[in-house]
Amino acid sequence: MSVENAPVVDVDEAAIPVEKKMYYRFESNDKKEFRVSELAIQQSETLNRLVEAMGYTSEDVENKPAIAIENIDGKTLKLVFQWCEHHKGEAIPVDDGSVPKIVEIPEFDAKLMDIDNGLLFKLIWAADYLNIVQLLNVSCKKVANMAQGKTPAQLRRVYLLPSDEEDEAAKRAAQEAQDPRAREVEEEFEERKRQGGNSFF
């Protein structure tokens, strides 16, 4: 099934599903609404528990407001639900602790994740937040693959890794921002040490 044909439905363009399955309604933080099948929701441990706890009937789903997902935007949520619909009914992998982890990216997932890194970043956050194990695996695998064959300098650029000096500077800046007096005291202490003083006080 192609990414375009994945059965996630934006409410404004949707046809009501013919099957007698329950379709839940979710709303992103930018007010985009999605209908997602009960089976697809099972891929997300967080959503699955949520809908179980709510105990909605078919009427509730239609009559009550869509379930709000506050911290995921519509563009990301659409990818998430496309993925869940495509993989609905599949077993959720259990982490057996094997290292290195072996994860293959299926063709559908590769196409789905043919997106810019900004959106990929949000997708991983969403998969983590919604606890969608296999989506998290494949999206993390895509990020892990970026390290392949890279030198340390290339890796720093790809992953925006700060150097030790930059880390130190950021730490100092954070400390100063928190307590400007602490820095002054530290400098005074260093100065006294240089002058050979035994006691600060």
Residue 6 or 120: the one with the smaller Cβ distance to other proteins is 120
Task: Name which of 50 and 143 has its Cβ closer to other proteins.
Answer: 143
What is the β-pairing status of strands 33-37 and 67-68?
Answer: unpaired
Question: Shortest Cβ distance from residue 76 to other proteins (Å)?
Answer: 14
Minimum Å distance from CB 16 to other proteins?
A: 36
Shortest Cβ 192–other proteins spacing (Å): 29
Least distance from C-beta 29 to other proteins, angstroms? Answer: 18
CA-to-CA distance for 172 and 8, rounded, in angstroms?
Answer: 48
- End-to-end Cα distance, the chain: 74
* Cα separation, 84 vs 23, whole angstroms: 13
Between CA 128 and CA 12, with CA 90 as vertex, the angle to 5 degrees is 70
Minimum distance, C-beta of residue 26 to other proteins, in the bound complex (Å):
21
CB of 134 to other proteins, least distance (A): 11
Q: In terms of CB distance, is 89 or 97 closer to other proteins?
A: 97
Helices (H), the chain: 38-41, 45-54, 58-63, 74-86, 107-112, 117-129, 133-145, 152-159, 164-178, 180-194
Which residue, 108 or 121, has its beta carbon nearer to other proteins? 121
For other proteins, the closer CB: 11 or 158 = 158
Structural contact between residues 136 and 129, judged by C-beta atoms closer than 8 angstroms: no
Element (H, E) at 10: strand 9-10
Rounded Cα distance between 55 and 120, Å, is 32
Q: Which residues bind other proteins (CB under 8 A)?
A: 97-101, 103, 116-118, 120-121, 124-125, 127-128, 136-137, 140-141, 143-144, 146-153, 155-164, 167
Tell me, what DSSP letter sits at residue 25? E
Q: Which is nearer to other proteins, 9 or 112 (CB)?
A: 112
